[in-house]
Amino acid sequence: EGHGTGTAAGDPLEAEALAKVFTGQRAANNPLIVGSVKTRIGHLEGASGLAGLIKTVLMLENDLILPNGNFEKANERIDLEKSRFRIPTQVEPWPKSGTRRASVCNYGYGGSNAHVIIDSASDYLTNRRLKGLHRRVLARSSSVKLLPEISEQPTGARVFLLSAQSEASAKLQTQQLITHLTTRRGSFGAEDFHSLAHTLASRRSQLSWRTATPASSVRELIERLSTGSKRTKCYGSAKLAFVFSGHGAQW
């Protein structure tokens, strides 16, 4: 499980390091399977390593290797055949021979490098002739709720920001959001509502054409988006007053 940010500079360097450590003595017909959870959920920054760890544990628990999302071809600076790498593009069973083992790589902004090696709990138990459960189990009598209760009750007004490079693209984004909300309306809870507002405002590039729509519920948001919110074009960039980097070594 690689760090795999998808950057032109970072991926080849990581691939080179992995090849030096893991594939020097590896047979050509037994390539190292490499993946990254970022192809599915993006970069979670400080939590990205934890996401990769969770994915890897689940794969070991279920004896499955998960595919990389939307993979077509490798960076031209990464020679998969020479490096003896293989990128999975579909779900496949984990090979049964030997102990199932995985490594999780993750890098930090300041140059930190975390590497975790995980063995299958099932193999650990079998090799030591121990009895135990290697998968998570939820008893039928458990009172744990697997899904949050869905509520259409007002959750407090939030502002939903959409931004695009052109007015036509802004209109398309609005329609796509309406479709998404309508499709998921029955399963869209208060937590999802607040998370959507935060993601649109803080985790998306701020482009020139913008629409800001206040709403207190999914129903109200759909109605306001459908009636047409005013789209405004922003000219120029705001002047910078203060910068709080959070990591002085990077400035």
110, 128, 146 — which closes off a domain? 128
**168-219: per-residue pLDDT in tens?**
998 999 999 999 999 988 888 888 899 999 999 998 888 888 899 999 999 9
Asked if residue 13 belongs to a domain, the reply is: yes
d(CA 222, CA 225): 5
Output the domain CATH number for residue 37.
3.40.47.10
How confident is the model over 235-248, as a mean pLDDT? Answer: 70
Q: Give the Cα separation of 157 and 86 in Å (integer).
A: 48
d(C-alpha 111, C-alpha 14), whole Å: 13
Task: Let me know if residue 16 belongs to a domain.
Answer: yes
pLDDT score of 249: 58
* Residues 19 and 124 occupy one common structural domain: yes
In terms of Cβ atoms closer than 10 Å to its own Cβ (0-12, 13-18, 19+), residue 239 is exposed
Tens-digit pLDDT profile for residues 99-145: 899 999 999 877 788 999 999 988 888 888 888 777 765 555 555 55
* Per-residue CA distances from 203 to 43, 44, 208 (Å): 10, 10, 16
Same domain, 96 and 34: yes
The reported pLDDT for the residue numbered 20 is 94
Look at residues 84, 108, 128 and tell me which one is the last residue of a structural domain: 128
95 lies in the same domain as 175: no
| Strand bridging mode 85-86 / 32-33 | parallel
Q: What gap in Å lies between CA 251 and CA 249, rounded to an integer? A: 6
For residue 202, give both structure tokens: 């803080």
The verdict on 120 and 60 lying in the same domain is yes
Tell whether the model's pLDDT for residue 243 goes beyond 80: no
Give me the domain span that covers residue 211: 158-233
Identify the pLDDT of residue 150: 47
Range list of β-strands (E), the chain: 32-33, 64-65, 85-86, 92-93, 101-107, 113-119, 158-164, 209-215, 232-233
Q: Which helix (H) or strand (E) holds 107?
A: strand 101-107
pLDDT at 237: 67
Could you give the CA distance from residue 115 to residue 108 in angstroms, rounded to a whole number? 11
pLDDT confidence of residue 142? 55
- Other Cβ atoms closer than 10 A to 121: 16
Residues 116 and 19 in one domain: yes
Q: What is the pLDDT of residue 96?
A: 83
Q: Is residue 38 part of a domain?
A: yes
Contacts of 36 (CB under 8 A, 6+ apart): 1, 2, 3, 4, 52, 68
| CATH, residue 218 | 3.30.70.3290
**What pLDDT was estimated at residue 155?**
58
66 and 177 fall within a common domain: no
- Same domain (yes/no): 22, 117: yes
Decide if 240 is inside a domain.
no
Instruction: Flag whether 201 is in a domain.
Output: yes
19 and 122 belong to one structural domain: yes
Does 124 lie in the same domain as 58? Answer: yes
In a domain, 241, yes or no: no
DSSP annotation of 204 reads: S
Asked if residue 147 belongs to a domain, the reply is no
The domain total for the chain is 2
Distance CA 244, CA 108 (A): 18
17-69: pLDDT as tens digits: 999 999 988 898 999 999 999 999 988 888 999 999 999 999 999 999 999 99
In a shared domain, residues 87 and 165: no
Pairwise CA distance, residues 121 & 167, whole Å: 54
> Does residue 227 sit within a domain?
yes
- Decide: residue 28, CB within 10 A, 0-12 exposed, 13-18 middle, 19+ buried: exposed
Whether 116 and 163 share a structural domain:
no
Longest dimension (CA), the chain: 69
What pLDDT is stored for residue 17 in this prediction? 92
Position of tokens 């405002």?
Answer: 201
